[in-house]
Amino acid sequence: MAERACRHCMRLLEGQTCLICGTSDLAEEWSGLVIILDAERSEIAKKLGVDIPDRFALKVR
Ligand SMILES: [Zn+2]
């Protein structure tokens, strides 16, 4: 799969670095796609500690 998951914020991205964390600590293997549309109202977003609408992985290796 082309997308990688940031190990810090669990955000899915296609580049080499996470724009939020500025880290290149990315996992190529991840599972559990979560799409956050409204971070302020989403229970999952709160669990993940997410405050921006984006797509996230539930688990990364
Ligand atoms: Zn990140």
As for how many domains the chain has, the answer is: 1
Query: Which of 6, 20, 19, 15 lies closest to 57 in space, CA to CA?
Result: 6
Helices assigned H by DSSP within 1-61:
43-48
CA of 46 relative to ligand 1 center, distance in Å: 16
Helix (H) or strand (E) segment spanning residue 59: strand 54-60
Contacts for 26 with CB less than 8 Å, ≥ 6 apart: 4, 5, 6, 7, 13, 16, 17, 18
Q: Residue 29: which CATH number?
A: 2.20.28.90
Maximum Cα interatomic distance, the chain, rounded to a whole number of Å: 30
% of the chain exceeding 70 in pLDDT: 98
- By the CB criterion, residues less than 5 angstroms from ion ligand 1 are 6, 8-9, 11, 18, 20-21
Which structural domain, as residue segments, surrounds residue 27?
4-60
Which pTM value belongs to this model?
Answer: 0.82
Q: How do residues 13-37 score in pLDDT, each as one tens digit?
A: 999 999 999 999 999 999 999 999 9
